[in-house]
Amino acid sequence: MPKILPISDLRNYTEVLNQVDVGAPVYLTRNGRGTYVISKIDDYDREETVEELMNEIQKGEKSLVKNKSVALEQVAKKYNIDL
């Protein structure tokens, strides 16, 4: 269950920060609407890594559509890799 608090609870920011855990961010609302998320740095780093990976996958997919594919055997031969 997500932890959703009004931003006014930040008056006691230590109490709010104590509720943040890995995989369990705290969502802050302003005027009843979601505005901010407080999360652990480990979660942030993981999200950044996933985003970078997804961008690289998209680049690869675009390249595959634009250029013709190459057989694995051809790549292995080019780089002297035994399959």
Indicate which CATH number applies to the domain containing 7. Answer: 3.40.1620.10
pLDDT in the model for residue 16: 97
> Is residue 38 within 8 Å of residue 25, measured between CB atoms?
yes
From the number of C-beta atoms within 10 Å of its C-beta (0-12, 13-18, 19+), residue 60 rates as exposed
Number of domains in the chain: 2
pLDDT in the model for residue 72: 87
Whether 73 is in a domain gets the answer yes
| Residue 71 structure tokens | 């057989």
Whether 35 is in a domain gets the answer yes
Whether 26 is in a domain gets the answer yes
Whether 55 is in a domain gets the answer yes
Q: Render pLDDT for 5-47 as a digit per residue (tens, 0 to 9).
A: 999 999 999 999 999 999 999 999 999 999 999 999 999 999 9
**Could you tell me if 35 and 55 lie in one domain?**
no
Task: Provide the whole-model pTM.
Answer: 0.68
Q: If we measure between CA atoms, which residue out of 43, 23, 19, 16 comes closest to residue 7?
A: 16
| Long-range pairs, 50-55, Cβ under 8 A, ≥24 | none
| Model confidence at 68: pLDDT above 90 | no
Boundaries of domain holding 9 = 3-39
Label residue 70 by pLDDT band (50, 70, 90).
confident
